Amino acid sequence: MDQVNKAFKPDLILVPVNSTVSFPNSDTVSHQIYSFSPAKRFQLPLYHGKPYPPVLFDSPGIVTLGCNIHDEMLAYVVVTDAPFFGRTASNGTWSVDAPNGVYRINIWHPRIRDEDKDLQGEMTVTEPAGGALQLHLKKLLKPAPLEGRPHSWDGY
């Protein structure tokens, strides 16, 4: 997960439990990455061009990342122990080859406010009929992060 133009790039990644993630810094300014999420607490001083050892994510959960210097920087590492997982494309789709069976489906998005229990359900997959699961959000989405604002606007 790189730091480019005072932003995490990408701003969300999914990794299986016991993965390591590198945090390079492609900016000319320094960053100080931190997380105090229960799934992984750590802090990293990221100087320009100075590599740091990768970070091990050894328990499942949502890890929220921030920068101690640039408060507008925000990103997520989703650590999962699920056998099948992925990030949906911009059109909202994701696909995987999975055998027939009964699956528990969990979804997560940083803008969704609904509780975890309302974001999961069981789905039986059979060939060729497939399966379907409908989840309805009960709460409004959070507003999307602001984009296109000059960084120099956040000096004070």
Partner 1 sequence: MGRLLKHALGVVIASAALSAAQTACGANYELDVDGRLVSVKAPPPIIDGNLGALRFGGDHSGARLGRVRLALAETFGEIWTVHLDASSWGDRDKIPAGLTEGYLQLRPYPRAGFRLRVKAGAFYAPISLENRSSGWESPYTLSYSAIDSWLGQETRTIGAEAQLDWLGTRTGHDFDLGLTAGVFGWNDGAGAALANGGFTFTDRQSVLWGRVGKPGVPPVKSAEPFRELDGNAGVYGGLEARYLDRLVVRFLRYDNEADPSVVDRVSHTLAWRTRFDSAGARLDTSSGWTAIFQWLDGRTYVDPRGSYSNWPFRARYLLLSKRFGERHTISARYDQFEVQGSGEDDDGWQKGHAITLAYVFRPGTRWRCTLEWIRVTSTSYNREEFGDGLATAPQTQLQLAVRYAFGSLAAD
Residues in contact with partner 1 by the rule CB under 8 A: 5-6, 27-30, 32, 34, 36-37, 43, 45, 64, 66, 68-69, 72, 74, 142-156
Question: Rounded to the nearest whole angstrom, what is the least distance from the CB of residue 8 to partner 1 in the complex?
Answer: 13
- CB nearer partner 1, residue 15 or residue 69: 69
Question: Rounded to the nearest whole angstrom, what is the least distance from the CB of residue 67 to partner 1 in the complex?
Answer: 11
Question: Rounded to the nearest whole angstrom, what is the least distance from the CB of residue 84 to partner 1 in the complex?
Answer: 25
- Closest by CA to 127, choosing from 98, 86, 84, is 98
d(CA 30, CA 9): 15
- Closest by CA to 110, choosing from 16, 7, 12, 1, is 12
Backbone angles phi, psi at 152, to 5 degrees: -70, -5
- CB nearer partner 1, residue 19 or residue 37: 37
